[in-house]
Structure 1
Amino acid sequence: MEGSKVRREGFSIPHQSPLPQSRELGEVSPERDYVQRSPFTKSWPHLVAGGAGGMTAAVLTAPLDVLKTRLQSDFYQAQLRAARAAAGHIRLSALQSASYHLAETFQILRDVYRLEGSRALFKGLGPNLIGVVPARSINFYVYPTGKRAYSQWTGLDPNNPGIHLASAITAGLATCTATNPIWLIKTRLQLDKNDAERKGDVSRRRYRNSWDCIKQVMRNEGPTGFFKGLSASYLGITESTLQWMMYEEIKRQLRLREEHIVISGREKTWWDHTIDYTGNFMGAGAAKGLASILTYPHEVARTRLRQAPMADGRPKYAGLVHCFKTVWKEEGFIGLYGGLTPHLMRTIPSAAIMFGMYEAILKLLDVKH
């Protein structure tokens, strides 16, 4: 009968609408019905949840972000090499190098506070927040929207790993392109030494504030100057892609674990309840940590490419490949992992906080994803 409808789990579809060829009549999944409506349906909660999670994580981990950026720059790496040479720490084993690097990390954090004041620990937080909120909002909006869109276009299940891969890459491209100018300003401000201001000689500082940095970049480097480091950011999409895919797999394993407990009918232990409340939280941190270690050199390259030009106005690094070659030649393999310790100290709890808030807000709004 024309106009009659088949109802599945609260969604209604016209009977004349074509069903997927791979399914028999009566086997339409609720998720499939959902994506047929529109890939952009009900995506605003993801936008809000991602922005709120990113903002909270950025504020709580700001000092470690400043420390990480400084350790990634060649200026601070040169200072560290000189200090190591003076102390006779030239040839170190892998374990000694890791121990020494950890000690350097905490020493620099202490020196920043002692020499530049507590405000220096939050240097660049303004542009960081301006970047984090839209970046996380875009990423958390584009990723689930991409899942629904690619599922609809290809006919694959939204939980297919191929759908996760395509969605994560799309979200990464959109986020990097839209927010690169903000990250460039943040990096320049974080690398700009503050002790000239502490001594009252503001003229020795290159940038007075964010607006002054924007004007100088536009005047001296043109509009394209705001997109320095974009190639390294695109390379960094591998990190966010790995993180999303590992996070999705961890969530899938947690769902299977919950289903197994329900089917078996056994009573939940204290450990089961702990996993229920912290599984996604811990999974997000673990996924971020592993993805960061595997792809970290792009972080160093991105920071170096965003550094202010040298005194003669020329950039030290001509491009991504030249940057990797120069760092390898001048600093060796360890140079590609400068700042890894504070990076992991920041990104792992940051990812846990961000994804934890993201999931909590979606649960509060009763959004299934």
Structure 2
Amino acid sequence: LLGFYKGLLPPILAETPKRAVKFFTFEQYKKLLGYASLPPGLAFAVAGLGSGLTEAVVVNPFEVVKVTLQTNQNAFTEQPSSFVQAQQIIKTGGLGFQGLNKGLTATLGRHGVFNMVYFGFYFNVKNILPVNKDPNLEFLRKFGIGLVSGTIASIINIPFDVAKSRIQGPQPVPGEIKYRTCFKTMATVYKEEGFLALYKGLLPKIMRLGPGGAVMLLVYEYVYAWLQDTV
């Protein structure tokens, strides 16, 4: 049973700073883009792209450790701790693209594309659909838009997620690096396994980031409004 929880500590350690970086940098990029005379709709998407790229740089080392632990076939009690695993990765591959930052380009694509669609779709659609005076209906309106935002973003960015997993995970032949760069990995997967292979794991991803994305946006919106009223 504990095998289902391999690699749990890295995402726990990364989740709070990851979400903080996502929403904080989105606001900062949005303010900066206000000086660039971009249309508001485009500014939301570009700010989302910037926040995703920044988030990816922060989270990628944690992702490398997590994937390494999850692909370890030893029993849960026999595998190294997250900190020991990180030390081993640094010792063998260093801090660069063969070590703790392996697969960074794919992670940049995954988070950049996701946040661009996620924030861009949510705020553009939210501003188009009429506001409900009933607080409960307004909550459901925002939740529904957030749910669709997370779902569409997941569908669009999952090829980057597949590439990231192939690059950061164990290679098919030990000692030989088959999956090295993001777009080359996508091309290899498409050529050898077909187009649908780029969408492996889509359903669990949507089940997590559809409702999860809606909850994050709602928390962000209501906390942001509360801070504006009280600070």
Check whether TM > 0.5.
Answer: yes
Which residue number in structure 1 is paired with residue 107 of structure 2?
233
CA distance in 2, matches of 1:328, 1:347: 24
- Please say if 1:197 is aligned against 2:72: no
1:246 pairs with 97, 112, 121, which one?
121
| Residue of structure 1 equivalent to 2:180 | 318
1:126 aligns with 2:4: no
Match of 1:359 among 218, 221, 228: 221
Matching residue of 2:142: 280
| 2:125 maps to amino acid | I
Check the 8 A contact 1:308/1:315 in 2, yes or no.
no
Structure 1 unaligned blocks of 5 or more:
1-116, 262-267
Structure 1 residue identity aligned to 2:146: A
Q: Which residue of 1 aligns with 2:95?
A: 223
| CA radius of gyration, larger in | 1
Spell out the pairing of 1:131-280 with structure 2 (5 A cutoff). Answer: 131-151=14-34, 153-154=35-36, 156=37, 160-193=40-73, 196-197=74-75, 202=78, 207-224=79-96, 225-236=99-110, 237-254=112-129, 257-258=130-131, 273-280=135-142
Structure whose residues are more often helix by fraction: 2
Per the TM alignment, residue 310 of structure 1 is displaced from its structure 2 partner at its CA by 5.9
**So what's the TM-score if we normalise by structure 1?**
0.57
Unaligned runs of 5+ in 2: none
- Report deviation, 1:147: 1.2
Counterpart in the other structure of 2:166: 304
How do 1:89-104 residues align onto structure 2 when only pairs under 5 Å count? none
- What's the % identity of the aligned pairs? 26
CA 1:349–1:122 in 2, change beyond 3 Å: closer, same or farther?
farther
Q: Secondary structure at the match of 2:100?
A: helix
- Alignment deviations for residues 128-147 of structure 1 (CA, whole Å, 9 cap, x no partner): 02112111101100111111
The CA deviation at 1:173 is 1.6
**Counterpart amino acid of residue 223 in structure 1:** L
Q: 1:362 to 1:173 in 2, by over 3 A?
A: same
TM-superposed deviation, 1:243: 1.1
In 2: Cα distance, 1:273 partner to 1:251 partner? 15
In the aligned structure 1, how far is the partner of 2:182 from the partner of 2:28?
31
Q: CA deviation at 1:176?
A: 0.9
Q: Considering only aligned residues, what root-mean-square deviation do their CA atoms show, in Å?
A: 2.3
Are the structure 2 counterparts of residues 367 and 297 from structure 1 closer, same or farther at C-alpha, using a change threshold of 3 Å? Answer: farther
Aligned length: 227
